[in-house]
């Protein structure tokens, strides 16, 4: 029996996680769920999985939330605030933490889970992008078990040999990691239409259903850039080991290429419950609610290279990856500010890359040796990004 805390339970990944967990009451129990907004969804989830604790990140929501819980006759205990987020990750009863808060807000609770040696199911790619080496050092030091949930990295994890040694591609005869991406909703949009893209258009992803921030990141392909950095740290890769391949159907979720010419791919329908189920049950397999691919219904199966002019954010993120930790922390922060401003209608879709590029150019290449420095650097990059947003607005 695994006992699980689900960070960001009200989100797309969080709700899919509860869905998979509830399919296997003999294997999993929920210790805590956490949510930031959308209190009604939090109540519904609590009724579905009966957690011992529910954590609200906003203490002001306590009274209203307690009233709804009472009315629904739900007996979970309510905790509030940042410390409570850490506490439900570190509790000795918990062996597995799903890290599914969006953005930099996920870093500290995820690290708390890592530092108490839990199995960490990592959906929150931003925490690894922000703190890569420090994060991976903490994983090793505290013997945490890190299982990637991002579909591409989960695919790579499945395609690597079981005895893969971190960073040692040569030993396993690996020549390349092929990171696939759909190219998002604007892969074939005329160049002159990019300035008038609306938030709802950007969030209407052709193959995946996701939260709004990652949907915009997928449309700009910053998501693939963040995943490039994520892959580097998860598997100990060099930038030259990774190639991004456009694959609009999202059937192949990524591939590993071997020295003998073999390429091993992981395929499946675009539904995150496959990765989530594998993370929960690894090394075993359990049902996830996802149907297998029906090959007779695949009418198209295509691949191409991502165009630099169409997807400047992808290339900015790769550049940041080559520059190092200060650059990836800064571009992640800039991107969060820019995407938020775009979703609020303050800047244009094409301004996101302008904000990211400007912040990257202004970043000092300092060494970040502890998490406090990472957070300070993140905060500075946000201030700079907000200044640019105000100018563009």
Binding site members for 1-deoxy-D-xylulose 5-phosphate: 125, 151-152, 182, 205, 218, 223-224, 227
By CB under 6 A, residue 214 contacts ligand NAD: yes
Alpha-carbon distance of 252 to 270, in angstroms, equals 9
What's the angle, vertex CA 293, arms to CA 185 and CA 311, rounded to 5?
20
* CB of 366 or CB of 383, closer to ligand NAD: 383
- Min. distance of Cβ 6 from ligand NAD in angstroms? 9
Q: Which member of 125, 187, 232, 253 binds ligand NAD (CB under 6 A)?
A: 125
* CB of 169 or CB of 217, closer to ligand NAD: 217
- Reported as half-sphere exposure (CB side, CA atoms, 13 A), residue 39 has a value of 16
DSSP assignments along 127-191, one per residue: HHHHHHHHHHHHHHHTT-EEEE-SHHHHHHHHHS-TT--TT-TGGGTEEEEEEEE---TTTT--G
Q: Which member of 20, 84, 136, 210 binds ligand NAD (CB under 6 A)?
A: 210
* CB of 10 or CB of 151, closer to Mg ion: 151
Alpha-carbon distance of 108 to 178, in angstroms, equals 30
Decide: residue 2, CB within 10 A, 0-12 exposed, 13-18 middle, 19+ buried: middle
Give, in order, the Cα–Cα distances in Å from 25 to each of 6, 271, 356: 16, 21, 44
Residues touching ligand NAD, count (CB under 6 A): 26
Decide: residue 352, CB within 10 A, 0-12 exposed, 13-18 middle, 19+ buried: buried
Residues that constitute the known binding site for NADPH: 10-13, 38, 124, 126, 211
Interaction with ligand NAD in 150-209: which residues (CB under 6 A)? 150, 208
* CB of 9 or CB of 112, closer to ligand NAD: 9
By CB under 6 A, residue 8 contacts ligand NAD: yes
Q: How many residues does the chain have?
A: 393
**Is residue 20 left, alpha or beta, with left meaning phi > 0 and alpha meaning psi from -120 to 50?**
alpha
The residue number with the shortest CB distance to Mg ion is 150
The one of ligand NAD, Mg ion, none whose footprint includes residue 317, by CB under 5 to 8 A per kind, is none
Could you give the string, one character per residue 66-105, with x where binding to ligand NAD holds by CB under 6 A and - elsewhere? Answer: ----------------------------------xxx--x
Q: Which member of 5, 57, 274, 313 binds ligand NAD (CB under 6 A)?
A: 57
* CB of 181 or CB of 312, closer to ligand NAD: 181
Is the separation of the CB atoms in 124 and 227 below 8 Å? no
* Nearest to 181, CA basis, from 231, 235, 218: 218
Q: 3-state DSSP call for residue 206? A: coil
- Reported as half-sphere exposure (CB side, CA atoms, 13 A), residue 181 has a value of 30
- Min. distance of Cβ 249 from ligand NAD in angstroms? 16
Q: Which residues pair with 244 in a beta bridge?
A: 179
Q: Which member of 21, 32, 35, 56 binds ligand NAD (CB under 6 A)?
A: 35
Could you give the string, one character per residue 145-164, with x where binding to Mg ion holds by CB under 5 A and - elsewhere? Answer: -----xxx------------
Residues that constitute the known binding site: 10-13, 38, 124-126, 150-152, 182, 205, 211, 218, 223-224, 227
| Residues engaged in binding ligand NAD (CB under 6 A) | 8-14, 35-37, 57, 100-102, 105, 123-126, 150, 208, 210-211, 213-214, 272
């Amino acid at each position: 029996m695994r006992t699980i805390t689900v960070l960001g339970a009200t989100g797309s990944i969080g709700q899919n996680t509860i869905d998979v967990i509830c399919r296997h009451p003999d294997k999993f129990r929920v210790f805590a769920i956490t949510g930031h907004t959308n209190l009604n969804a939090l109540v519904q989830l609590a009724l579905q999985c009966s957690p011992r604790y529910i954590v609200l990140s906003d203490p002001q929501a306590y009274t209203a939330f307690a009233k709804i819980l009472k009315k629904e006759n739900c007996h979970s205990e309510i905790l509030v605030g940042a410390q409570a987020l850490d506490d439900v990750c570190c509790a000795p009863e918990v062996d597995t933490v799903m890290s599914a808060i969006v953005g930099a807000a996920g870093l500290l609770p995820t690290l708390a889970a890592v530092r108490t040696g839990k199995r960490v199911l990592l959906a929150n790619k931003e925490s690894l992008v922000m703190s890569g080496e420090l994060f991976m050092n903490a994983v090793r030091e505290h013997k945490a078990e890190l299982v990637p949930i991002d579909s591409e990295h989960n695919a790579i994890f499945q395609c690597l040999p079981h005895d893969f040694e971190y960073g040692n591609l040569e030993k396993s005869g690996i020549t390349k990691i092929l990171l696939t991406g759909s190219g998002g909703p604007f892969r074939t949009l005329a160049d002159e239409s990019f300035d008038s893209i609306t938030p709802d258009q950007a969030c209407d992803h052709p193959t995946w259903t996701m939260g709004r921030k990652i949907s915009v990141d997928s449309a700009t392909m910053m998501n693939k850039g963040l995943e490039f950095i994520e892959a580097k740290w998860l598997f100990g890769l060099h930038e030259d080991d990774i190639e991004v391949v456009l694959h609009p159907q999202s059937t192949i979720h990524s591939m590993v290429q071997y020295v003998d010419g073999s390429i091993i791919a992981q395929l499946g329908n675009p539904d995150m419950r496959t990765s989530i189920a594998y993370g929960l049950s690894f090394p075993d397999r359990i049902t996830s609610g996802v149907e297998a691919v029906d090959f007779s219904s695949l009418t198209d199966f295509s691949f191409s290279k991502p165009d630099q002019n169409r997807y400047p954010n992808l290339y900015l993120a790769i550049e940041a990856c080559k520059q190092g930790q200060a650059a990836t922390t800064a571009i992640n922060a800039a991107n969060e500010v820019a995407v938020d401003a775009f979703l609020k209608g303050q800047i244009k879709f094409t301004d996101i890359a302008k904000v990211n590029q400007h912040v990257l150019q202004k970043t000092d290449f300092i060494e970040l040796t502890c998490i406090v420095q990472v957070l300070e650097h993140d905060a500075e990059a946000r201030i700079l990004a907000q200044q640019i947003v105000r100018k563009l607005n």
